[in-house]
Amino acid sequence: MATKHRCVWLATLALAGHAAASRAADLHLELVEGLRSRGYHDTAVVYLDQIENDARVSQDVRTVIPFERAVTLLQSARSLGPEARREPLDRAQAQFEAFTRANPDHPLSARANTERARILLENARLGIWQARSPANKGQEQPFRDEARALIARARTVFQTAHDQHKAAWEQFGVFIPETERQKIEARKQAEIAYMQTQMDLAMCTYEEAQTHPRDSAEFKRLLTRAAEDFEAIHEKYRSIVVGLYARMWQAKCFEEQGGREGLGRALGIYNELLGHPGDSQTMQILKGHVRHFWCICQNQRNESQLVIQAADEWVKNNRVWLRTPFGIGIRWELVQALEAYAQDRTLAAKDKERLLRQALGEAEAISRIAGQYRDVAAFAVPRIKVALNIDPGDPRDFDTALGRGRTMIKPGIFDRQQAIDAERAGQKRADELAALERDLADHLRETGRVLELAVNLSDSKTDPRHLLEAHYLLAYVHYLQDRAFEAGVLAEFVGRKFREADPEFALKSAYLSMAAWTKVYNASPQPEDDRTFEVDRIIRACQLVTGFWPQSEEAQGARIQLGRIFSRREQPAEAARWYSEVPESAEQYAEAQLAAGQAWWNAYLKAAARRDDAGDAEQPAPEQLDEWQRSAEGHLKVGIARVEAATPKDQESPVDLIAGKVTMAQILVNRGEYDAAVKLLKTEPHAPEQAIQVKQGETRPKSGIKSPAFASLVYQLFLRSYVGTKNIDEALRVMEQLERAVPEGDDGTAVTAIYIKLGRELQNEIERLRASPSGNRLTEVLASFEEFLSALTAQRERMNYSALIWIAETWYYLAEGIGSGNLRAQDYYGRAAETYQDILGRPQGFVPGGKDLGVKLRLVNCRRSQGEYQQALELVGEVLAGQPMALQAQIEAAQVLQSWGESGEPEAHKHLREAIQGRDIGTQKKAVWGWAGIVRMLANRPEYREQSLQARYNSAVCRRQYGLEQSSGAKGKAELEHARTELEMFARVSGPEQLGDEWWKKFEGMYHTLQRDLNQATTPLPRPVRHQPRPLSAVGSMDLAARPAGTSARLMAGSRPRAAAAVPVKSTSPVLVILGLLVAAGGAGGIVFWMVQSQKRSRRPRLMSSAIAPAFTPPAMTADPSRSSRTAAPAARRKPAVADDESRPSTTAGPAPAPGGGARTRRSGQPPASG
């Protein structure tokens, strides 16, 4: 019995992750894993070398170093080409062997054995590839013999591993109580390992078959045996991914046995697998492999058209997998199908050429990628070229090459784009359109090649203007190819370095670089806040234009663009300066004035909101703030007057104008000029109140000034004004309108969100007024609100859920605004809590379904703010009793404990430890996770990155405070040192790139504080170990088919229902979502600004409309500008068109620059003059 337990424990330790052995082990091995996951394999090996003989490192860790080194080498090898792979594989194998020899009973020994065998099998595959390479024709046998010997060795090791894994799995028995989660998890892992080795053994048989000639009896015999083995596995595990893989390989065996029957059976299975409903990443990979095998099968049946269609579609929809082994395989099958179909004599010459060109492009691409198909593709390239009868001779001098390049752009590219346009307009068949698009892509590639050739043929005698043109055209082609980085780099280089050769052309080039970097920005997968680099590039390009050609029309567009960028960067003052620089003579003057006004106002709001931060050195002086407010008003007045004068009364109100007026109304509300604000919002022509109306029964559009968001903004200003004038009747009427304007759905969430936001705005306003030298306004506003809310509260019996939420939130934010230490604030918190309790006490059904949790948490928040920690904890405990995995409740619980710990109450500091480590509540063990628990639970959950980082930071804060509170110096020091070490180790695997500057600074600040507490010299927070750049293992790690059991987690995923996640992926409570949004929104300032920010987060952010593309016209095409603008348009449309409202930060609430973001687009497709 004891032995059995020991075995289970060992298996648990091994399979749940040996890194869990100790915290120290965690840190070292976590660092190694972090390095590996970033592809820093060499650094990981160096680190392992360093700690191997370090006596401070525990023996547990040092024991597994050979194993870890082998794993690192193995991963490193998978990122290399086949030729380079052997050496690291051999070294990895040696390390695995060393490990198993020294630690035969170690829990990782079975895994080491399995990995060893996989390396042997992988080396055998290399031999099989080489035997099949055209380059080794006639010399196959030695490769085959070697491969067979390797497979035999692999099988022996796999068999041992198989027996070990089977025994480990069986040790767990059948029944494990649900409460023993770790044990259940360990059994699952053991089962996976066992399944893997079954697959490994079957794969050995399959691979052994490959070592025989395809027409031999041995080949067929072994394939039959392999098919039986795979079938047995499929039978056992048909509902999980490993079973599906087994099924796929069974079909592969049928396919390779050939004949109509074999192919038919294989295709049947492939179709069955392709029709599987799963679409997880694991399933996508599986289907990729199956699609590859399917194409092989269809090519064998001479169904080249079917292959072309399926492979084309797959390539189009699976760009991320293109370089995986199965992706390359599918592309190779496509090449073969294209070549075969091009032999069809009934095809027109043009179609035949198109097929061969596509085949050539794919074959050339494959021939550059290390792997199984490189050699065969390289052999195909000259063959296809011969079929195409190309390469009779490239141009041999610069002028000829440039001339050819020009012709290839016009009419070459233009005609093709027109054909695509026509095809789209005619809504022709998707496959015809796809063929045209492919043709354009091929043509663009060839054009780029010719232009590159031209540049390379230039010499000292080449006219610099022509050389500049060649560069410009090349950049333009890159742009059209969506190679925006290349276009940006080249165009910017030309704009900067060639400006003396031909200033006009250099300007065009600089402007093209602006567009290219904007494209990079728009295409970035990073969250908007993490696109600093992309924005910096756009700024650089814009400043190139404004710096060298300040008077040009392009410079005005660049200024608007810079204004927009700095607005997004929440640098409104800088934005305002750029907008303000647009001269009166410019076409965009009025819109720039409106934008400048709004930007100055946002600058004012932002700065005013920071006024309570006494240590803020960047805080502008009060005079400066007044100046910004005046500037805002001045620019808005000019902009409004200009646009209004230019807009007939009966014409639809321009967005810019309405947005400008609304911003102006905000300024008036802020100054307490409520009547003036109401007048501005109501006065015709172009009154915002009218502009937001929609016809009865009409649904509000999602964006624009009639959108629910904008309409609610206007009503909020009315509401705020009526609160200010204590006009309760009008306020209640506006609230009704507001509730009508915002679609309620079933739950009233939208209106609730607005009320909460209004409360937050109020808090901001109170904070600004608190900081203001004159205290009268604060007293006046507080009195006004108190009176208003009291009057409303008196009528609360007849109010609905949303209105009560508004009352509660407003009390709460009023309290926040005046500061929690204030007695009046305590009163307000109390009133908020009272209102929440009222809501919770209403009859069932009053609170929309699922929202109790959110309301309760707000109540907890109020109690915490009131300092009633015990009560807050009991409340949150009630929540957790019902929903123990509710993340927001866990965060609130930890926060309550932290606040309690920091309260200064006697013995309160013990709650700091609880805040970190969690605690029981009543009989619930570890009901509260604590910050450390939250960090653990959110590991590998990028969607909760912010919460995880905040929890990690709070953990450090608590530990520091706890350390400082210790009566024993040594104990306190140990806590501080612990906090410091944790930060250091975390930083070593994260680094500023992963954390972002803001978080990095925050962690570094805490690190320095801890160093000072410990009387240590302050040093920078260590960054991840610098590595020599090495390739990432993107391709190798996905090679599931080649290593069918290689990624255990994936094998369990997919078709079997997932085990319950430790943390709910999404909160079911909309209120929680609202609260999350509030946290995310921050408190930067005014309503318009808030709206802009919230829209910014909710949409895919775009800085500049891609409609800018038509404005770029290569110089050779200026003879026919109307045509050039038309034909350039498809390039912009290849990416989803950028809606104007997405391209501007201020669409709904601010000035609206011309779609396309610059001077050019105002001229309806007129290209810039060119030389």
Partner 1 sequence: MTSPRFLTAAVAAMLVLAAASRGDAADEITRKGSAAPLRGEITEFSRTEVTIKTGLRANQRDEKVPVNVIARIEWDGEPSKLSLNRNAEAAGRYGEAIKGYGEALAEVPGENARLQTDVTFLIARATARQALVDPPKLDDAIAKLEAFRSANSNHFRHFEATSLLGELYLAKRDFIKAAPIFQQLEQAPWNDYKMAAKNAGGRLNLLNDKPEAAQADFDSVLAIDATSPGEVAERLQALLGKATALQRLGQPAEAQQEIERVIEQADNNDSETLAEAYVRLGDSLQAQNKPQEALVAYLHVDVIPKLARESQHHSEALLHLSNLWNAVSRPDRAGEARDLLMSRYPTSDAARKLSAPAAGSE
Residue 369 or 515: the one with the smaller Cβ distance to partner 1 is 369
Residue 91 or 265: the one with the smaller Cβ distance to partner 1 is 91
Do 198 and 233 meet the contact criterion of CB atoms below 8 Å apart? yes
Name residue, tokens 């305002």: 576
Biggest CA–CA distance in the chain, Å, is 99
Q: In the complex, what is the shortest distance from the CB of residue 120 to partner 1, in angstroms, rounded to a whole number?
A: 18
Interface with partner 1 (CB under 8 A), residue from 25, 29, 48, 860: 48
Name residue, tokens 């410019």: 586
> Within 103-216, where are the H helices?
109-132, 140-171, 181-210
Q: In the complex, what is the shortest distance from the CB of residue 533 to partner 1, in angstroms, rounded to a whole number?
A: 4
Interface with partner 1 (CB under 8 A), residue from 25, 31, 80, 643: 80
Q: In the complex, what is the shortest distance from the CB of residue 855 to partner 1, in angstroms, rounded to a whole number?
A: 40
Interface with partner 1 (CB under 8 A), residue from 27, 307, 334, 474: 474
3-state SS assignment for residue 974 = helix
Interface with partner 1 (CB under 8 A), residue from 10, 24, 98, 167: 98
Q: Is 490 in the site for partner 1 (CB under 8 A)?
A: yes
Tokens of 574: 């800088």
Residue 310 or 369: the one with the smaller Cβ distance to partner 1 is 369
Interface with partner 1 (CB under 8 A), residue from 30, 424, 485, 784: 485
Tokens of 278: 């799963």
Interface with partner 1 (CB under 8 A), residue from 322, 676, 885, 1081: 322
Return the half-sphere exposure (C-beta side, CA atoms, 13 A cut-off) of residue 155: 14
Interface with partner 1 (CB under 8 A), residue from 456, 651, 800, 924: 456
Q: In the complex, what is the shortest distance from the CB of residue 160 to partner 1, in angstroms, rounded to a whole number?
A: 23
Q: Which of residues 595-614 bind partner 1 (CB under 8 A)?
A: none
Residue 32 or 714: the one with the smaller Cβ distance to partner 1 is 32
Q: Which helix (H) or strand (E) holds 924?
A: strand 924-928
Q: Is 499 in the site for partner 1 (CB under 8 A)?
A: no
Task: Indicate the residue type of 683.
Answer: T
What DSSP assignment string belongs to 21-75?
G-HHHHHHHHHHHHHHHTT-HHHHHHHHHHHHT-TTS-HHHHHTHHHHHHHHHHH
CA distance 217 to 852: 71
Judged by CB under 8 A, the number of residues near partner 1 is 71
Interface with partner 1 (CB under 8 A), residue from 60, 140, 486, 874: 486
Residue 78 or 831: the one with the smaller Cβ distance to partner 1 is 78
Considering only the stretches 70-78, 126-134, 629-637, 1052-1060, report the one whose residues sit in contact with partner 1 under the rule CB under 8 A. 70-78
Q: Is 461 in the site for partner 1 (CB under 8 A)?
A: yes
Q: In the complex, what is the shortest distance from the CB of residue 497 to partner 1, in angstroms, rounded to a whole number?
A: 5
3-state SS assignment for residue 920 = strand
Q: Which of residues 988-1027 bind partner 1 (CB under 8 A)?
A: 991-993, 1023, 1026
CA distance 431 to 316: 12
Q: Is 497 in the site for partner 1 (CB under 8 A)?
A: yes
Considering only the stretches 349-357, 401-409, 491-499, 633-641, report the one whose residues sit in contact with partner 1 under the rule CB under 8 A. 491-499
Q: In the complex, what is the shortest distance from the CB of residue 982 to partner 1, in angstroms, rounded to a whole number?
A: 22
Contacts of 1058 (CB under 8 A, 6+ apart): none
Considering only the stretches 43-51, 302-310, 382-390, 716-724, report the one whose residues sit in contact with partner 1 under the rule CB under 8 A. 43-51
Interface with partner 1 (CB under 8 A), residue from 11, 14, 25, 76: 76
Residue 199 or 473: the one with the smaller Cβ distance to partner 1 is 473
Task: Indicate the residue type of 442.
Answer: D
Q: In the complex, what is the shortest distance from the CB of residue 803 to partner 1, in angstroms, rounded to a whole number?
A: 46
Backbone angles phi, psi at 104, to 5 degrees: -60, -25
Q: Is 465 in the site for partner 1 (CB under 8 A)?
A: no
Q: Which of residues 500-539 bind partner 1 (CB under 8 A)?
A: 501, 520, 524-526, 533, 537
CA distance 548 to 506: 10
Q: Shortest CA distance to 362 belongs to which of 391, 387, 327, 394?
A: 327
Interface with partner 1 (CB under 8 A), residue from 56, 137, 345, 368: 368
Residue 84 or 791: the one with the smaller Cβ distance to partner 1 is 84
CA distance 256 to 250: 10
Q: Which of residues 2-41 bind partner 1 (CB under 8 A)?
A: 39, 41
CA distance 363 to 357: 10
Do 639 and 798 meet the contact criterion of CB atoms below 8 Å apart? no
Q: In the complex, what is the shortest distance from the CB of residue 136 to partner 1, in angstroms, rounded to a whole number?
A: 18
Q: In the complex, what is the shortest distance from the CB of residue 545 to partner 1, in angstroms, rounded to a whole number?
A: 18
CA distance 255 to 249: 10
Q: Is 1029 in the site for partner 1 (CB under 8 A)?
A: yes
Q: Which helix (H) or strand (E) holds 921?
A: strand 919-921
Q: How far is CA 1084 from CA 571, 601, 633, 747, in A?
A: 11, 12, 19, 28
CA distance 789 to 810: 8
Q: Count the helices and strands in the chain (H runs, E runs).
A: 50, 2
Interface with partner 1 (CB under 8 A), residue from 188, 212, 276, 1030: 1030
CA distance 198 to 236: 11
Residue 85 or 564: the one with the smaller Cβ distance to partner 1 is 85
Considering only the stretches 78-86, 544-552, 714-722, 939-947, report the one whose residues sit in contact with partner 1 under the rule CB under 8 A. 78-86
Interface with partner 1 (CB under 8 A), residue from 459, 618, 698, 907: 459
Interface with partner 1 (CB under 8 A), residue from 455, 1014, 1073, 1081: 455
Q: Is 323 in the site for partner 1 (CB under 8 A)?
A: yes
Tokens of 1152: 């609206």
Q: In the complex, what is the shortest distance from the CB of residue 45 to partner 1, in angstroms, rounded to a whole number?
A: 3
Considering only the stretches 448-456, 582-590, 666-674, 1051-1059, report the one whose residues sit in contact with partner 1 under the rule CB under 8 A. 448-456
Residue 534 or 581: the one with the smaller Cβ distance to partner 1 is 534
Q: Is 281 in the site for partner 1 (CB under 8 A)?
A: no
Q: Shortest CA distance to 659 belongs to which of 1159, 995, 1152, 1084?
A: 1152
Interface with partner 1 (CB under 8 A), residue from 478, 611, 686, 757: 478
Return the bridge partners of 928, or none: 919
How big is the chain, counted in residues?
1171
Interface with partner 1 (CB under 8 A), residue from 30, 42, 140, 185: 42
Do 643 and 802 meet the contact criterion of CB atoms below 8 Å apart? no
CA distance 513 to 1138: 18
Q: Which of residues 149-168 bind partner 1 (CB under 8 A)?
A: none
Tokens of 1158: 């610059």
3-state SS assignment for residue 186 = helix
Considering only the stretches 346-354, 456-464, 563-571, 802-810, report the one whose residues sit in contact with partner 1 under the rule CB under 8 A. 456-464
Q: Is 396 in the site for partner 1 (CB under 8 A)?
A: yes
Interface with partner 1 (CB under 8 A), residue from 4, 22, 23, 49: 49
Residue 461 or 798: the one with the smaller Cβ distance to partner 1 is 461
Interface with partner 1 (CB under 8 A), residue from 56, 137, 260, 319: 319
Q: In the complex, what is the shortest distance from the CB of residue 126 to partner 1, in angstroms, rounded to a whole number?
A: 15
Q: Shortest CA distance to 664 belongs to which of 636, 644, 688?
A: 636
3-state SS assignment for residue 928 = strand
Residue 171 or 458: the one with the smaller Cβ distance to partner 1 is 458
Do 444 and 486 meet the contact criterion of CB atoms below 8 Å apart? no
Q: Shortest CA distance to 1151 belongs to which of 663, 630, 651?
A: 663
Residue 318 or 981: the one with the smaller Cβ distance to partner 1 is 318
